[in-house]
């Protein structure tokens, strides 16, 4: 007697919930991702075996390029707003709300005060090509010290990190450290790239 074969039934899966979850995750990553802002100069920093990372909150990074230009990076947008308000009031810059907003969106800059005012008044396209000669830090015109004083005035617990190209002139490092000493800042971090730890022989 022949066996009766059961009729095969196809299995159907409802993928609606899975598609919704995928789009929710994609939206989350897009909204929380932080765009890396291009720096106005390239930096080839020395290497070390240190794995310690610095927090970007309450941080100011002073960068020295290969051609000895000094740049200031302020990762915290709220700190940038506080600094430009205080800096504008101290030096009577009379910046417009639009110029202050532009500075608030500028993470890295490297120019003297007169050029900064002109820079903030330009359109986005012009600012991308704007020549940045570096922040003066010499004894006759030490605007770097003024920026550090402004940062310490609005955020006393701000920390300093120095990022220098390995081929930069050592005298520029000396100018930066001298500016920190004038503000009685004796502790700062050095930004380096990570190298492999030496193996025991």
Tell me which residue range forms the domain holding 112.
Answer: 47-194
pTM as predicted: 0.73
* CA distances for 91 relative to 1, 86, 114, 118, 143, angstroms: 104, 9, 11, 15, 11
pLDDT for residue 51: 60
The alpha carbon dihedral of 191, 196, 200, 201 has a sign of: negative
Closest CA to 82 of 5, 180, 157, 7: 157
- Ranges of the chain with pLDDT below 70: 1-15, 29, 32-55, 193-201
Total count of domains within the chain: 1
CA–CA distance, 147 with 84 (Å, rounded to integer): 10
Q: Which pLDDT does position 108 carry in this prediction?
A: 92
Of 181, 143, 140, which is closest to residue 160 (Cα–Cα)?
Answer: 181
Q: Quick check: is 2 in a domain? A: no
Q: Give, as one character, the DSSP assignment of residue 103.
A: H
Question: Does 11 map to a domain?
Answer: no
**pLDDT at residue number 179:** 93
Residue 201 domain-assigned (yes or no): no
Cα distance between the two ends of the chain: 79
39 in any annotated domain: no
pLDDT score recorded for residue 13: 66
Asked whether the beta carbons of 76 and 105 are under 8 A apart, the reply is: no
Place of tokens 């012009």: 126
Contact yes or no for 104/86 (Cβ under 8 A): no
Residue 123 lies in a domain: yes
Distance CA 1, CA 148 (A): 96
* CA-CA-CA-CA torsion sign (42, 48, 54, 59): negative
> Per the domain annotation, does 114 fall within a domain?
yes
Residue 13 lies in a domain: no
Residue 82 in any domain: the answer is: yes
> What pLDDT was estimated at residue 149?
95
């Amino acid at each position: 007697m022949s066996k009766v074969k059961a009729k095969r039934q196809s299995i159907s899966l409802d993928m609606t919930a899975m598609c919704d979850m995928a789009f929710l995750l994609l939206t989350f990553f897009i909204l929380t991702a932080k765009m890396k802002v291009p720096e106005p100069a390239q930096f080839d920093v020395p290497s070390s075996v240190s794995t310690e990372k610095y927090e970007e909150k309450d941080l100011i990074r002073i960068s020295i390029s290969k051609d000895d230009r000094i740049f200031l990076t302020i990762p915290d947008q709220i700190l940038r707003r506080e600094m430009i308000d205080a800096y504008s009031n101290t030096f009577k810059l009379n910046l417009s709300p639009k110029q202050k907003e532009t500075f608030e969106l500028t993470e890295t800059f490297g120019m003297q005060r007169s050029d900064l005012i002109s820079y903030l008044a330009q359109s986005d396209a012009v600012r991308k090509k704007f020549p940045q000669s570096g922040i003066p830090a010499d004894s006759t015109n030490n605007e770097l010290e003024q920026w550090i004083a402004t940062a310490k005035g609005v955020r006393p617990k701000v920390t300093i990190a120095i990022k220098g190209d390995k081929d930069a002139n050592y005298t520029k490092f000396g100018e930066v450290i001298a500016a920190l000493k004038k503000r009685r800042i004796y502790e700062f971090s050095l930004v380096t790239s990570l190298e492999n730890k030496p193996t025991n022989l």
